[in-house]
């Protein structure tokens, strides 16, 4: 399949080459272009998907449908680090474009005012595929019609339409800045930004693990090395591997 055009952005690692297609089944499934850090964008996906195989459906022009293909260092090639990198980068871009600071919902959604503006899907093969679906120009009525009342778009947040390529440039620049830090071995700023946007530290939380177990406790610490809960069954606390945590959320008030 031949791209309709190829773009290049003045970045160091991410987006030096971006192949743009009118339609793809899924940007994550397209063969990775060279060099590593290149990206693929589609006006429309016929078989787009989100986390856990959920469908991701948009009309052309409504969203930025982007996959970045990476060959990261071993220290970066962890789901928690890659997801945090993508989520923080997108959140920084949304803040610049709208003037509103987003939050991150564990593990891979970017929210504004409790509503989802972007989803992230990390898939590891020979190259790592980092897929982003950022809502651009949908209206509230569009989301209601699709049974998605808890979604929002940049246009809804800013009160104006957005040009997809202009947003792409901002997103790639933010991703590039964060990637340069982690590739150089400096993860502290990314980890701190991720922790801040999660907004859960010190709260009573529920941790649902991939093995089906559920834990409750006060979140003492959250980082790439572990999620520490102070639980009722002992003073020592529990430290969970981040990749083992399927869902981490504040406990609902009684």
Residue 52 in this model has a pLDDT that exceeds 50: no
What is the torsion angle, in degrees rounded to the nearest 10, for the CA atoms of residue 193, residue 162, residue 170 and residue 117?
A: 30
The boundaries of every CATH 2.30.30.100 domain in the chain are 200-250
Residue 48 in this model has a pLDDT that exceeds 90: no
pTM equals 0.93
**Tens digit of each residue's pLDDT (9 = 90 or more) over 16-30:** 999 999 999 999 999
Nearest-angstrom CA–CA distance, 170 and 121: 19
Residue of 66, 64, 63 whose CA lies nearest to 26: 66
Q: Which two tokens stand for residue 208?
A: 């649902």
The boundaries of every CATH 3.30.930.10 domain in the chain are 5-196
For domain 5-196, say whether CATH 3.30.930.10 is its number.
yes
Residue 254 in this model has a pLDDT that exceeds 60: no
CA distances 63 to 71, 97, 140, 236, Å, are 26, 14, 14, 46
Residue 87 in this model has a pLDDT that exceeds 80: yes
**CB-side exposure of 6: number of CA atoms within 13 Å?**
7
Burial class (CB in 10 A: 0-12, 13-18, 19+), 231: middle
Residue 231 in this model has a pLDDT that exceeds 50: yes
Report DSSP letters for 113-142, one per residue: TTEEEEEEEEEESSSEEEEEEEE-S--HHH
Residue 82 in this model has a pLDDT that exceeds 70: yes
* CATH level 2 (architecture), domain 200-250: Roll (2.30)
Sorted by sequence, the CB contacts under 8 Å of residue 83 that are 6+ apart come out as: 107, 108, 120, 122
Query: How would residue 55 be classed by pLDDT, with cut points 50, 70 and 90?
Result: low
Residue 212 CB: number of other CB atoms within 10 A? 7
Q: Which two tokens stand for residue 18?
A: 């971006």
Nearest-angstrom CA–CA distance, 180 and 178: 5
- Give the model's pLDDT for residue 49: 56
**Tens digit of each residue's pLDDT (9 = 90 or more) over 153-197:** 999 999 999 999 999 999 999 999 999 999 888 999 999 999 999
The rounded mean pLDDT for the chain is 92
């Amino acid at each position: 399949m031949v791209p309709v055009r190829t773009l290049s952005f003045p970045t160091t690692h991410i987006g030096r080459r971006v192949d743009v297609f009118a339609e793809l089944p899924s940007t994550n499934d397209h063969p990775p272009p060279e060099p590593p850090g290149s990206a693929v964008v589609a006006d429309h996906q016929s078989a787009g998907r989100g986390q856990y195989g959920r469908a991701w459906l948009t009309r052309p022009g409504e969203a930025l449908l982007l996959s970045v293909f990476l060959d990261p260092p071993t220290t970066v090639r962890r789901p928690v680090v890659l997801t945090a990198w993508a989520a923080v980068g997108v959140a920084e871009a949304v803040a610049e474009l709208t003037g509103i600071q987003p939050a991150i919902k564990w593990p891979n959604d970017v929210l504004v005012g409790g509503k989802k503006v972007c989803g992230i899907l990390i898939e590891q093969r020979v190259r790592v595929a980092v897929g982003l679906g950022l809502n651009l120009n949908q209206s509230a009525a569009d989301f209601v019609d699709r049974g998605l009342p808890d979604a929002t778009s940049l246009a809804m947040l800013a009160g104006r339409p957005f040009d997809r390529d202009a947003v792409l440039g901002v997103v790639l620049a933010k991703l590039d800045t964060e990637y340069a830090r982690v590739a150089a071995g400096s993860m502290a700023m990314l980890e701190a930004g991720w922790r801040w946007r999660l907004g859960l530290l010190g709260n009573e939380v529920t941790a649902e693990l991939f093995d089906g177990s559920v834990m409750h406790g006060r979140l003492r610490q959250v980082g790439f090395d572990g999620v520490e809960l102070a639980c009722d069954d002992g003073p020592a606390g529990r430290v969970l591997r981040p990749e083992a945590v399927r869902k981490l959320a504040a406990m609902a008030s009684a």
